[in-house]
């Protein structure tokens, strides 16, 4: 199933696909730009998020397959890919199992969760009381306390508009993910970025990924939590520009 997408930028520029975190949409990247080189930015929504159709079940493989369908639909043979959290998991699967990813960036993501209790508790709360019951806790993990309350509220409103069943399906996919066997298969040059104040995917998750990848660099951004690309866009954009701007 082809997800909802937007494609913007110079038609002759390299394509950079941007994958969102669970509970966010293409709006995650509204203020994002790389400072030195032009790219065509291809943004897509997960199922039941933004303009994408809902689903009842999902796996990382099925979500990644939707991205492959999108690339086929747009006749894009190979692209750069940058993903945050769930978007990063999709990127790892794509880079390990297809030849569609030229260069890869992984931001605040994980290959595996040893302790699945938090995901079990979150899904249980949603089943009994809806996404609203977990919204405040989720948003508090997305940003540091110094982040703009007004901006955080916009992300909370966006989260509340996500289809509940699709959120649960994607959460189940994250809970069950184990990409550790895939990491050694990723040949694309990769930059791995963590945030020092990210409790959702702490820096040790990024270190594990970087250690297992054949060709990677690791960066840890200090003043940010899980949605570091929103809190520290300038720092991250410079890192990404250097990574994706290689000729």
**pLDDT 10s digits, 124-154:** 999 999 999 999 999 999 999 999 999 999 9
- Scan for tokens 């405040």, then name that residue: 136
Distances in Å between the Cα of 148 and the Cα atoms of 144, 195, 198, 241 are 9, 18, 17, 26
Is residue 123 within 8 A of residue 209, CB to CB? The reply is: no
pLDDT, position 1: 87
Give the model confidence (pLDDT) of 223-239 as tens digits. Answer: 999 999 999 999 999 99
Calpha distance 63→76 (Å, rounded):
18
Q: What pLDDT is attached to residue 247?
A: 60
Average pLDDT over the chain reads 96
Instruction: List, in order of start, the domains of the chain with CATH numbers.
Output: 5-244 (3.40.50.1820)
Pairing of strands 40-44, 5-8: antiparallel
Which residues touch 133 (CB under 8 Å, ≥6 apart)?
125, 126
CB atoms within 10 A of CB 95: 27
Structure tokens belonging to residue 75: 């006749």
Query: To the nearest 5 percent, what fractions of the chain are helix, strand and coil?
Result: 45, 15, 40
What pLDDT, on the 0 to 100 scale, is given for residue 233?
93
DSSP-derived letter for residue 183 is: G
pLDDT for 17 equals 98
Distance CA 9, CA 34 (A): 12
Structure tokens at 239: 């890192």
List, for residues 33-79, the tens digit of each pLDDT value: 887 788 999 999 999 999 999 999 999 999 999 999 999 999 999 99
Q: What are phi and psi of 232, to 5 degrees?
A: -125, 55
Residue 36: the pLDDT is 78
- Could you read off the pLDDT of 157-215 as tens digits, one per residue? 999 999 999 999 999 999 999 999 999 999 999 999 999 999 999 999 999 999 999 99
Sheet containing strand 101-107, strands side by side = 5-8, 40-44, 15-19, 79-84, 101-107, 190-195, 216-221
| Closest of 147, 148, 170 to residue 159, by C-alpha | 170
Cα–Cα distance, 143 to 67 (Å, whole number): 27
């Amino acid at each position: 199933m082809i997800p909802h997408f937007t494609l913007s930028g110079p038609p002759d520029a390299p394509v950079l696909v941007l994958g969102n975190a669970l509970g966010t949409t293409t709006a995650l990247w509204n203020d994002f730009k790389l400072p030195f080189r032009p790219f065509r930015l291809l943004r897509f929504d997960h199922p039941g998020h933004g303009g994408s159709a809902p689903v009842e079940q999902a796996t990382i493989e099925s979500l990644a397959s939707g991205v492959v369908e999108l690339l086929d639909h747009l006749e894009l043979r190979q692209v750069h890919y940058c993903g945050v959290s769930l978007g990063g998991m999709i990127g790892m699967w794509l880079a390990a199992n297809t030849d569609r990813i030229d260069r890869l960036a992984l931001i605040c993501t994980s290959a595996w969760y040893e302790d699945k209790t938090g995901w079990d508790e979150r899904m249980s709360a949603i089943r009994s009381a809806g996404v609203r019951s977990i919204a405040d806790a989720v948003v508090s993990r997305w940003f540091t306390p110094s982040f703009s309350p007004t901006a955080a509220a916009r992300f909370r409103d966006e989260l509340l508009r996500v289809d509940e069943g699709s959120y649960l399906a994607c959460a189940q996919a994250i809970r069950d993910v184990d990409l550790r066997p895939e990491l050694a298969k990723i040949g694309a040059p990769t930059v791995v970025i963590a945030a020092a104040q990210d409790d959702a995917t702490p820096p040790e998750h990024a270190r594990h990924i970087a250690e297992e990848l054949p060709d990677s660099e690791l960066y840890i951004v200090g003043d940010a939590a899980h949605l570091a690309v929103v809190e520290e866009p300038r720092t991250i954009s410079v890192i990404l520009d250097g990574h994706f701007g290689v000729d």
